């Protein structure tokens, strides 16, 4: 099966990425949105996610972070939006992870929101939660991505890091279909609100 036949059409992903940049720039006059990572430098493969940076005026930083969910929903409905705990209290900087309905799980949006240097940036009122089980599922998606890239060692390492986030003390066995099912079951038991994400993980085809 080709990447396009399996839904991994780079043209479609490019259109989504372009729409993301468009709605972000429109949502905040004086801001700028740009691609980062492999899509920006032309090294993306069909499994690459979407990395973007949204630079906003310092006096609008808080409002932009507060509204980012509604802004991104203009692209397509969101399945999930969570925040990176390491940036949750950093003045003028947030890292957010968004999953869109109807897109392959590989194409998560990793969005950095930063304030232009200047005065003290305004503080957001909204704290986008970090959900350990969601992070573990994302690690599982990354493991499948690594397998498709011919890198089982990285896949195993990603699962090894993901397991403790959902309370699994055993190590992955290296039988990836079973390991992913174990991870999905544990994530769902810890956070029942992640039923769709867990199902999407176990539905991903393995090479």
- How far is CA 131 from each of CA 15, 109, 190, rounded to the nearest angstrom? 29, 16, 10
Q: Are 116 and 58 in contact (CB under 8 A)?
A: yes
pTM: 0.91
Per-residue pLDDT at 1 exceeds 50? no
Chain segment 15-60, per-residue pLDDT in tens: 999 999 999 999 999 999 999 999 999 999 999 999 999 999 999 9
Burial of 9 (0-12, 13-18, 19+ CB in 10 A): middle
Per-residue pLDDT at 4 exceeds 80? no
Burial of 43 (0-12, 13-18, 19+ CB in 10 A): exposed
Arch. (CATH architecture) of 10-115: 2-Layer Sandwich (3.30)
42 contacts: CB under 8 Å, gap ≥ 6: none
Chain segment 128-185, per-residue pLDDT in tens: 888 999 999 999 999 999 999 999 999 999 999 999 999 999 999 999 999 999 999 9
Main-chain dihedrals φ then ψ at residue 34, nearest 5 degrees: -145, 155
With DSSP H G I counted as helix, E B as strand and the rest as coil, what are the percentages for the chain, rounded to 5? 50, 15, 35
Indicate the domain borders of the chain.
10-115, 132-203
Number of helical (H) and strand (E) elements in the chain, helices listed first: 7, 5
Q: Which two tokens stand for residue 103?
A: 């897109």
- How far is CA 153 from each of CA 50, 143, 174, rounded to the nearest angstrom? 24, 9, 9
């Amino acid at each position: 099966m080709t990447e396009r036949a399996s839904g991994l059409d780079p043209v479609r992903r490019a259109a989504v990425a372009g729409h993301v940049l468009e709605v972000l720039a429109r949502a905040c006059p004086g801001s700028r949105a740009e691609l980062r990572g492999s899509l920006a430098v032309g090294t993306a493969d069909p499994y690459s996610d979407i990395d973007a940076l949204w630079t906003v005026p310092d006096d609008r930083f808080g409002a932009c972070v507060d509204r980012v969910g509604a802004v991104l929903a203009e692209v397509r409905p969101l399945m999930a939006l969570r925040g990176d705990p390491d940036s949750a209290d950093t003045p003028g900087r947030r890292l957010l992870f968004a999953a869109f309905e109807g897109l392959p799980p590989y194409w998560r949006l990793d969005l950095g929101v930063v304030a232009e240097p200047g005065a003290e940036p305004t503080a957001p009122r909204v704290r986008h939660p970090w959900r350990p089980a969601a992070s573990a599922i994302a690690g599982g998606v990354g493991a499948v991505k690594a397998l498709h890239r011919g890198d089982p060692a990285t896949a195993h390492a990603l699962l090894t890091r993901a397991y403790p986030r959902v309370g699994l003390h055993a190590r992955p066995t290296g039988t990836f279909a079973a390991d992913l099912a174990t991870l999905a079951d544990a994530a769902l038991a810890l956070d029942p609100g992640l039923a769709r994400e867990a199902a999407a993980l176990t539905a991903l085809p393995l090479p």
